[in-house]
Amino acid sequence: MASSLMSCESIEVTRNGQEILNVPAFSVEENERLAVLGPTGAGKSTLLGILDLTVRPDSGRLFWRDEDITRAKPGSAVRRKISMAFQIPLLFKGSVYENVAYGLKLRGASKGERDEKVNEILDLFKVSNLAAADAMSLSGGEAHRVSLARSLVFGPDLLLLDEPMASLDPGTKEGLLRELMEILKKLNVTCVYVTHSREEAFIVADRLAVMEGGRVVQTGTAEDVFYRPATTDIAAFVGAGNILPGRILSSSDGLALIETTDMDIEAVSDLPPESDVTVCIRPEEIFIEDIAKGKRTGRASARNRLPGKVAAIENLGAVARVTVDCGTILKALITRRSLDDLHIGVGMEVIAGFKATSVHVIERGKHVKS
């Protein structure tokens, strides 16, 4: 990976004697889209304020391409290379053109340069037809497009986004988010995207950082974090779904037999016997099989095939969440088509199956340092 664009070292922030941020190390790499994921109060916005130079840490250092900028002020030259957008578009009275051109005007760009860059960025965000429109008359989706265009028009090196899609409806949000990621790649803009939404983080992230209690508790690719969470708390937050306490009964050649409350399962693990563990099985990794007819929702072979009874079915649109009582409750996500094809109903006897490689094993009591 390329050298860091921005990095933090031993950053601490306290308010009224309470520690709200403690980050020993954190970096933003050149040309990456980094999602920062965490619940409300995790310290995400405070970290973003550090990167934006609007929050001064009580201790620690901040670097921009290896230059110490810990004492840089919000109006400094490096801050002019950083842009930020928020959950609510902060547009002022005037035309869309005037709003988007404002940053260029402050930077002394000529009228010709402003016209060229504003027209280019409005075209990228598909709002060229709104250039002369009153910014106060825009719909929610349009206002977000204009706000993002204004943040990018002057060519920042780093774009900071604080819950930028939170106020949009799901359909508008996903479409705009995917468009934004394509625009950032085209313009080679590094981005830090703060969110509490797992879905947004998965769409955005080249790399994902999870925050909890003012600390960065895990970083990695979105697949690493979602499918191989480092702790039980992270597993719960990223929606691991089926999280069960267990103990390893035996282990051989990287395959472990794990005892949980009411069933034994096989999983890929090198931990020794007698280890206390937590096992995580994502709902989409579980298939359902009709015992009577031998039909199932997944075709892959699986070491774990657990008999049970359907306890509940929840319609989620394109997919359904099926709760199966196998002595222990397991939740599976299957397509609506599979649900209909198998005629799955409450009370039906089924097999809940999953591969050993689909089970993520966490050593109980493990703590991750940021």
158-162: strand order across its sheet: 82-85, 158-162, 190-195, 33-37, 207-212, 215-220
What does each C-alpha distance from 363 to 230, 239, 268, 278 come to in angstroms? 9, 18, 13, 6
- What domains can be seen in the chain, in order of their start residue? 4-227 (3.40.50.300), 283-355 (2.40.50.100)
Tens-place pLDDT, residues 174-188? 889 999 999 999 999
Residue 367 pLDDT: 45
138, two tokens? 């825009």
Tens-place pLDDT, residues 75-94? 889 999 999 998 888 899 99
Query: Are 38 and 196 in contact, with CB atoms under 8 Å apart?
Result: yes
Tens-place pLDDT, residues 241-250? 899 999 999 9
Most confident listed range (165-174, 304-313, 334-343) = 304-313
Query: Are 306 and 258 in contact, with CB atoms under 8 Å apart?
Result: no
Neighbour tally for 51: CB within 10 Å:
22
What does each C-alpha distance from 11 to 64, 145, 188 come to in angstroms? 15, 33, 28
